[in-house]
């Protein structure tokens, strides 16, 4: 059986480790990056089946940039953007409108501290497992 590969990028080391452990426990192969720059390098050398990007890393729009670059290289690879931006700023990013979906390039937007079960369910839906 072909193990699905997941790329996770987040500058919060604790959250990155937690997500890596969750996703490995789900049975996926995991590659991590702790910056936008490192994630861009990994996108060039690692062909993930799904990407999970933090929105705000060294740039406030790192997740959007990574999503764009990932979709440009592999349009069929699903991208999940996770962020605490709504809780921290009150700004709400939603993929409910076509306009937002077009410029965000992500397939799903989740708030940080998502439960492992919900993340697993969403990942399986996006990868059609």
Domain segments of the chain as ranges: 5-126
Q: Decide if 111 contacts 86 (C-beta within 8 A).
A: yes
CA-CA distance, 129 to 15, in Å (whole number)? 25
Distance CA(39)–CA(34), nearest Å, equals: 7
Kindly report, residue by residue over 101-117, the tens digit of the pLDDT.
454 678 888 888 889 99
Distance CA 96, CA 51 (A): 20
**Considering only 74-88, 92-106, 108-122, which range has the smallest mean pLDDT?**
92-106
Compute the residue count for the chain.
Answer: 129
Name the class of domain 5-126.
alpha beta
Q: How far is CA 82 from CA 2, 12, 100, in A?
A: 26, 12, 15
Predicted TM-score (pTM) of this structure: 0.86
């Amino acid at each position: 059986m072909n193990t699905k590969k997941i790329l996770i990028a987040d500058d919060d080391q604790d959250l990155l480790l937690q997500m890596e452990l969750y996703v490995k426990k789900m049975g996926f192969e995991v590659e991590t990056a702790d910056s936008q720059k490192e994630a861009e390098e990994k996108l060039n050398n690692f062909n993930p089946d799904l990407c999970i990007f933090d929105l705000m890393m060294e740039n406030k729009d790192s997740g959007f940039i990574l999503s764009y670059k990932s979709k440009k290289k592999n349009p069929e690879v699903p991208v999940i953007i996770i962020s605490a931006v709504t809780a921290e700023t009150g700004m709400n990013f939603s993929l409910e409108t076509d306009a937002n979906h077009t410029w965000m390039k992500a397939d799903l937007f989740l708030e940080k501290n998502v439960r492992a079960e919900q993340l697993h369910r969403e990942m399986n839906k996006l990868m059609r497992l």
